Amino acid sequence: MKFDVELVGKIGSMALIDKTAQMPDYTRIARLSAELKPGYIWVTSGATEIGRLDYIRRHGKELSGAAEDVKADYAAEGQSVLMATYRQYVDPKYSIRQVLIEHQHFNDPVKREFLKSLLLRCKEQNAIPIVNYNDAVCAEENRKMEIQALLSNHKKVVEGVDNDETAAQIACLVKAETLLILTSTDGIYKDMKTGELIEEICGKDPAELLENIEYYKKFCSGASRAGANGAKAKLEYIKDAAANGTKVIIANGKYSIKEILAGSVPATRIGIR
């Protein structure tokens, strides 16, 4: 099977934060950034939380006001910090390019092709795209109205507000060999209380694989933070990519990309046999 991109990776907000120090985990970001290279597309969460922490550090207090406005303000502040951090640690011989997306970039065929071309050109031009949802200018009420309008004419619509969904859709768009979802846990658990990890979900063909993914969704509950959709949503989002032949790995952000791809650390691995 021919793949156009080696890897689409995504890291979640909580995997980027040092909870004890209440600041970005610069050691982790530096380690992961050093592994990025052309042929990788990196989807990063964290702008809103990093923006919040940056604002508190500079002003000694949190912002007040309407929740949606505060989120937009934090995201706008955090984007600059996040990109500056990636630029500091990514190998200087590579360019990095910020790509901020919203739902219309996947649901409009013309915009979808434009995004695909932009992402594929990066590999040719020795550049690494760093993708995030454009929270700073996305009004939730307006987004929901646009999504509802799209649903009246389409069976399936991409919202993109969850970066797990964004990463999975990009993996489909560019035909990625591997989709790597980094979280603050070792993968998808059959039983969180006992720590029983689901190490593999597979099938002999797309139909059997999708059936098995659906089976394992019933074991998932909870999320790592308020506003997150959790493990069940991750399994739902990655269905299209997995059925399309992309190998999906859900793993802990504390491990290196190299270790995860080599299979030397715990993870949940999903794909067609």
Name the residue with higher pLDDT: 98 or 153: 98
Is the pLDDT at 229 greater than 60, yes or no? no
Please give the full DSSP string across 41-63, using - where no structure is assigned: EEEE--HHHHHHHHHHHHHSS--
Its CATH architecture, for the domain 5-272, is: 3-Layer(aba) Sandwich (3.40)
Over residues 158-168, the pLDDT tens digits come to 776 689 999 99
- At residue 266, the pLDDT reads 97
Rounded to whole angstroms, how far apart are CA atoms 219 and 235? 11
Tell me which H or E stretch contains 128: strand 127-133
Rounded to whole angstroms, how far apart are CA atoms 31 and 252? 14
Is the pLDDT at 67 greater than 60, yes or no? yes
Rounded to whole angstroms, how far apart are CA atoms 251 and 268? 6
- At residue 183, the pLDDT reads 93
- At residue 110, the pLDDT reads 95
Please give the full DSSP string across 210-266, using - where no structure is assigned: HHHHHHHHTT----SSTT--HHHHHHHHTHHHHHTT-EEEEEETTS-HHHHHHT-S-
Closest CA to 239 of 208, 215, 216, 213: 213
In 3-state terms, what secondary structure has residue 90? coil
Rounded to whole angstroms, how far apart are CA atoms 174 and 168? 10
Name the residue with higher pLDDT: 36 or 139: 36
Lowest mean pLDDT among 97-111, 115-129, 234-248: 97-111
> What are the boundaries of each domain within the chain?
5-272
Percent of the chain surpassing pLDDT 70:
89
- At residue 222, the pLDDT reads 53
